[in-house]
Structures are given as C-alpha cells and as structure tokens.
C-alpha cells in the first residue's frame, strides 16, 4: 500500500533523512517513533506530498512526486497544528474542505460524532486546542482516504479526542485503511499499533511488530488500575501481584500478551514500565 524506497531529504546542506526504506501493508497501523528532530515529521510530510525528496515514495502504486494530485486524493493528513483563519467558524472550515474534495456529507452529523455540534457556528479562535484538533481529525478522514497520516496526534488531543482517535483507528483498520502515526512513547499506541518504525538521526533503525519490540526491550511489567473489581475475573491466569483491591502489577515474559488480554476484557486503564526513547535507541544499536 505504502512503499518508501531510499528516501533522502536535505534542507540546504543538512541531511534530515538518509536512505529510508520500508513498506506498510493495507489495514495496518504503523507508529513512527524517535526523538525530537529525528526526521519523523519530515518523513510524514514527504509521504503527504508536501516536501520534495530524493528516492521513491509510492501510495497504491502511484509515485507521490509524479502523481501528486491523484495521490493526495487518497491521503488524509492530520498535522501537529493546522494553519487556518481564526475568524472562520467550524462549519465554514469543514464546508470549505468538503468543497475542495467535492463530497457531500451531513456536516451536523459529523460534528455530533466528534462532540463539536455545540460549537459548529463558533469561530475557530474560540475553540480549545483539543476541540480544534478534533475538528482537524474529522477533516482528515471525511473523504474516506486509503492512507491516513497523523503527526504527533496525542500532543494536542484532549481526552475526548484520544478516545475518538483510538475508535477511528480500529474502525478504519477493519475497512482496510492504513495509518502512519508519529509519536514519542510506546504506551500511547499499544492498543492499536501493528508495527513500529524507529527513526534515529534520519535513518531507519527498526521496523517490526510491537510485540517483537517488547521482547527486544525486555518490557516485563504492566501496571493496572480498575475500580470495578474486574481485574481478577478477567486475567486471573496471569502472574498478578495485587497492590490493593483496585491496583495490580503483571510481571510477565510476554507483557504484550498480557496487554492483549487486558484489552480483550475491556480493561484499558494500564501503563507499562517503558524505557526512554534514548534507551530504546541504544538497545537497538543506534546513537545514544
């Protein structure tokens, strides 16, 4: 679905991406992680057709550089911050977007889905940061793209938006849509990530399943909180150490399996004992 081959990117004499090569299949959520300045946002913008690059990037077999207009029709893009006129209302901005893609949708229905209906006629300047990001998330998927690019979405989303984001990713993966999502922490993406792509100083350091990365990093503890007594009933077969009736720790050689069991039983209030991004890079053989 997405093919990246030997991609280099320079800003003047400074090389930001160096010989980056990977594939991502249909219906896969790939999470792009790395330190600030590693090249994550630059790579996403190259895939989106917003920056020139050397090498090859193909979406559904079409070269982004050569068929930019056609490729952009099948890409949804959620930037870290979207430059828009603050005096326009949410309705006006969304309607302009629909006109751009020549699609007809029930705007009120979409605003209700993203819990923005009360603000549909409010100028964007009066939106909170989380409300703005929910609006741009809606715009990123409204034209039913095949490839959805999200640059650090967790940074600006509020709690409502984060829950919507996870639901959307699961829903659209079932439809065969592909995601590339950048971030810093594994724990933000555990419940839906299929693959991890680690970029260090512009170079590809790791691409593989999140399950395999857990094993490489030796992640062994999962901390859980549940106030409704479901922990014991849901995962009694796992090695659980209870801190009190509402809190527990799972210590396992296969922490990812334990997390899957939690999610299957609708227990989502957990976090992992996660190494820093610097430690992850060091263990994978990159620059410390």
Number of neighbours of residue 288 by Cβ within 10 angstroms = 7
Residues of the chain short of pLDDT 70, as ranges, are 226-239, 242-245, 286-288
As a whole number of angstroms, the distance between CA 138 and CA 141 comes to 6
End-to-end CA, the chain:
33
Report residue 218 as tokens: 């030796």
Q: What pLDDT is attached to residue 255? A: 81
The phi, psi pair for 160, rounded to 5°, reads: -65, -45
* Sequence-ordered strand ranges (E) for 12-146: 14-24, 29-33, 54-59, 62-63, 75-78
Burial string for 260-271 (b: 16+ CB within 10 Å, else e) reads: ebbeeeebeebe
Q: What pLDDT is attached to residue 65? A: 92
Question: How buried is residue 72: exposed, middle or buried, by Cβ count under 10 Å (0-12/13-18/19+)?
Answer: middle
As a whole number of angstroms, the distance between CA 163 and CA 197 comes to 23
Q: What pLDDT is attached to residue 49? A: 94
Q: What is the pLDDT of residues 206-257, one digit of tens each?
A: 999 988 888 888 887 788 776 655 666 655 556 677 666 677 787 777 788 8
| pTM given for the model | 0.88
Domains of the chain: 2-215 (3.40.50.300), 220-272 (3.30.70)
Q: What pLDDT is attached to residue 286? A: 56
Q: What pLDDT is attached to residue 245? A: 66
């Amino acid at each position: 679905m997405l093919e990246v081959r030997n991609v280099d990117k320079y800003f003047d004499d400074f090389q930001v991406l160096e010989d980056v090569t990977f594939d991502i299949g249909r219906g896969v959520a790939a999470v792009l992680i790395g330190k600030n300045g590693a090249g994550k946002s630059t790579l996403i913008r190259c895939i989106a057709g917003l920056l020139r690059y050397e090498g090859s990037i193909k979406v559904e077999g079409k070269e982004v550089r050569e068929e930019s207009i056609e490729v952009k029709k099948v890409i949804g893009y959620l930037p870290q911050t979207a430059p828009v006129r603050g005096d326009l209302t949410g309705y006006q901005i969304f309607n302009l977007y629909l006109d751009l893609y020549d699609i007809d949708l029930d705007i009120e229905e979409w605003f209700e889905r993203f819990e923005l209906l009360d603000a549909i006629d409010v100028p964007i300047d009066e939106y909170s940061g989380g409300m703005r990001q929910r609006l741009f998330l809606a715009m990123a998927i409204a034209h039913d793209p095949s490839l959805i690019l999200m640059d650090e979405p967790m940074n600006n989303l509020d709690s409502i938006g984060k829950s919507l984001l996870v639901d959307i990713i699961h829903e659209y993966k079932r439809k065969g849509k592909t995601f590339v999502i950048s971030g810093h922490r594994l724990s933000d993406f555990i419940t839906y990530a299929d693959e991890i792509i680690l970029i260090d100083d512009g170079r590809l350091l790791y691409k593989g399943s999140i399950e395999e990365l857990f094993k490489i990093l030796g992640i062994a503890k999962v901390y859980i909180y549940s106030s409704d007594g479901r922990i014991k009933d849901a995962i009694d077969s796992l090695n659980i150490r209870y801190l009190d009736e509402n809190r527990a720790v799972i210590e396992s050689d296969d922490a990812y399996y334990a997390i899957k069991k939690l999610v299957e039983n609708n227990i989502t209030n957990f976090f992992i004992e996660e190494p820093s991004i610097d430690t992850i890079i060091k263990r994978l053989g990159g620059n410390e």
